[in-house]
A and B are shown apart, each in its own frame.
Chain A
Amino acid sequence: MNTEERALPIVIVGHVDHGKSTLIGRLLYDTQSLPPDRYAEIQKTSEMLGKRLEFAFVMDCLEEERSRGITIDTTQTFFKTPKRRYVIIDAPGHKEFLKNMITGSSQAEAALLIIDAFEGIRDQTRRHAYILSMLGFKQVCVLLNKIDLVHYSKEKFSDLKNQVYHFLKQLNIHPTFILPISAIQGDNIAHPSIKISWFDGPTVLQALDTFEELKIEEKPLRFPIQDIYMMDGKKILVGRIEAGHIKKGESVYLLPGKKKVEVKKIEKFLENDVTIANFEESIGIYLKGRHRVKRGQILTTDLFPTISDKIKANIFWMDPMGYHAGEALLFRCVTQEVPCRIKKINRKFDPASMELTEEDASSINGAEVADVLIQLDEKVVVDPFNEIPEMGRFVLEKEGRPVAGGIIPLAG
């Protein structure tokens, strides 16, 4: 029956040409996850373009990607080890495709950071590592790729390993492993390699299997109202439980107004007498009595969330166009959508250099990060990202396009 576990989503990030797509192709090939007809197609296209078998084509299947030899957009594939299933998310390494890298990373629970052993740490290595840190990644494994290009040298590996370790420490990332690999040659991917017999750590596959599923902790209820439908003349509030659980008959707050309301009934299609609904469930709710309800209001069991029209946040700017003081934005956090402006840019810098800091800036460039104060047209309900991630992260839109993402730090 359906005992199949869920697939653990893993993102692969790193500088352009450091070998992300090639690694994925190799992983699929070495684990026999590649159907023979797809393998044949890749072989044929590689020949057509006058290349040796190009593992990157497994992921890079746009014509432009193959002829230019780059990854343009994030993509996903599935594979399994004897231990469990994985969703592997490839993220492009070019700065201009940063939004695609962030799109991919936002769906992952663990990351592989790949670094060319010959080139070392580069701009997008730093930028991607910084984004992982902001997005709260706790599980990161570093792969020092192209170890064949440094002649499988133990000394070169140890030097770079130290650099990487200290660099990541500044970002509060503590890698589970730092591994020497060659994606092209297949060294230490699915099988240990005698060419690096000096290395006694795990292969990439073994390292993947040490990642843990994110644990779901019991948290206080957060139920953002997504929409309101009329069913047989009665209002049903639909939405997804973003934290905690909700019970039939329970008394809850309707935020931001703090009104007390009672859950009369929980509705799920073809299910009768639902007494409780849990985290991640998309449900319907009938309230007792008549209330003014609308999308964006939040049902909670406590009054601990921040309810304010001013929010301090750390943002990363994804859009190449950047931001200039005074521009109108839309703040979107769960189902809340409120017009806003950035009132103050306290500090901004470019994570590729990790140095340049500007206080009290008037603009933010593409791919920069900043600490800001956001002024909203109405009060919103948020929690610190570390406590309830779903309620502590948001997207900013400009003229209908998502341009930045942000997280809400602990107050203080």
Chain B
Amino acid sequence: MDHLSRLENKSIYIIREAYYQFKDIAMLWSVGKDSTTLLWLCRKAFFGHIPFPIIHIDTSYKFPEMYQFRDERAKEWNLNLLIGRNEEKLKEGMGPGRGSKLDCCNELKTNALKGIIKKYRLKAILLGIRRDEHGIRAKERYFSPRDSQFKWDYENQPAELWDQYQSTIEEEEHFRIHPILHFTEFDVWSYVQREELPIVPLYFSKNGKRFRSIGCVPCCSPIDSKAQTIDEIVEEIRVSKTSERSGRAQDKENVYTMQKLRALGYM
């Protein structure tokens, strides 16, 4: 079996395992390349009929191209799409430039997610994070428990061996499930290429710049790139020397910002 098929089959196994263990489950879709890959793998796992909702956490600061892509795919793939927004904080004017990045991410992403988990009484959420993205994510488990406060007890994670994932939790807890944890950025692009997946056009070069990682407009900067096709992106990543999240503002504020965000329940 080739490398990408091996990654794919492992992910499908994990997605099915998650659905077997938890019926109150949903997938978090940021509309970026990673969670779109995860969405595609969910479609494969359930032969095109995903039996759970797909959640988009909307900070209201996303790129217009992302909203358009989201709505087109939701229709085409017949998704049960739920939108999570922290309306209260948005009304109060929370946004980039107001307070720290940590506060903004925490309110508009983490707390919006908390709201939707509570509303739908979700016990598990599928997320498209990868180990090679960030040192903190490299320490994640495939099935990662979070307490009622959403805290991640990263100093005392459950053992995880031979595809046996802990699935028992207390009433107030939930699991974060990471089916593409073992993909690298290069693997994701190679997979997008092989499967001919649709992708938000922001990833393609326009006027010598493209986005390598997408999120909220004010916190993402494009990189210099001439890559205008998937093939060119794959080639670019293959030889790249900089890290993927180098264009992400929230990682730069303080070296431990990502750890703090994740401990508080950030994705």
Interface: A74 (CB within 8 A): yes
Interface: A240 (CB within 8 A): yes
Whether B241 lies near A400 (C-beta < 8 A) is: no
User: What is the size, in residues, of chain B's interface with A at 8 Å between Cβ atoms?
Assistant: 54
Interface: A61 (CB within 8 A): yes
Q: Which residues of chain B from 211 to 227 have any CB-CB distance to chain A below 8 Å in the complex?
A: none
Residue on A nearest B48 in the bound complex, by CB? A269
B1-26 interface bits toward A, Cβ cutoff 8 Å, 1 = contact, 0 = none? 11111100110110011011000000
Which B residues lie at the A interface, using CB under 8 A? 1-6, 9-10, 12-13, 16-17, 19-20, 43-49, 131-132, 135-136, 138-139, 141, 154-155, 157-162, 164, 166-169, 184, 186, 190, 193-194, 238, 241-243, 246, 255-256, 259
A268 to B8, CA, bound (A): 12
Whether B155 lies near A400 (C-beta < 8 A) is: no
Whether B161 lies near A281 (C-beta < 8 A) is: no
Which of A99, A231, A280, A394 is the one whose CB lies under 8 Å from B6? A280
Whether A238 lies near B159 (C-beta < 8 A) is: no
- Asked, given contacts A2-B2, A35-B246, whether A284 binds B47 with beta carbons under 8 Å apart, the answer is yes
Q: Which residues of chain A from 82 to 115 have any CB-CB distance to chain B below 8 Å in the complex?
A: 99-100, 102-103, 106-107
Residue on B nearest A9 in the bound complex, by CB? B182
- Asked, given contacts A2-B2, A63-B256, A100-B157, whether A75 binds B162 with beta carbons under 8 Å apart, the answer is no
Whether B47 lies near A45 (C-beta < 8 A) is: no
A58 to B168, CA, bound (A): 33
Interface size class of A (residues with CB under 8 A): 35 or more
A268 to B242, CA, bound (A): 37
Q: Which residues of chain A from 381 to 402 have any CB-CB distance to chain B below 8 Å in the complex?
A: 390, 393-395, 397, 399-402
- Asked, given contacts A37-B246, A267-B47, A405-B162, whether A279 binds B1 with beta carbons under 8 Å apart, the answer is yes
Which A residues lie at the B interface, using CB under 8 A? 1-2, 4-7, 32, 35-38, 41, 44-45, 58-59, 61-64, 72-78, 99-100, 102-103, 106-107, 226-227, 229, 231, 236, 238-240, 267-270, 278-282, 284, 295, 318, 332, 390, 393-395, 397, 399-402, 405
**CB neighbours of A332 from chain B (8 A):** 164
Whether A238 lies near B16 (C-beta < 8 A) is: yes
Whether B13 lies near A240 (C-beta < 8 A) is: yes
Q: List 12 A-B contacts (CB under 8 A).
A: A2-B2, A4-B186, A4-B238, A37-B242, A37-B246, A75-B139, A226-B17, A226-B20, A278-B1, A280-B9, A282-B9, A402-B161
Nearest CB on A from B114, distance (A): 23
Whether A226 lies near B13 (C-beta < 8 A) is: yes
Given contacts A37-B242, A103-B160, 20 further A-B contacts (CB under 8 A): A4-B186, A6-B2, A38-B243, A41-B255, A44-B255, A45-B255, A64-B155, A73-B157, A75-B131, A75-B138, A99-B158, A231-B47, A240-B12, A240-B13, A268-B44, A269-B44, A269-B47, A393-B162, A400-B168, A402-B161
Whether A2 lies near B131 (C-beta < 8 A) is: no
**CB neighbours of B19 from chain A (8 A):** 227
**CB neighbours of B136 from chain A (8 A):** 61-62
A95 to B2, CA, bound (A): 37
Please indicate which of the listed interface residues B4, B141, B158, B166 has the most CB atoms of chain A within 10 Å of its own CB: B158
A78 to B182, CA, bound (A): 10
Residue on B nearest A41 in the bound complex, by CB? B255
**CB neighbours of B238 from chain A (8 A):** 4
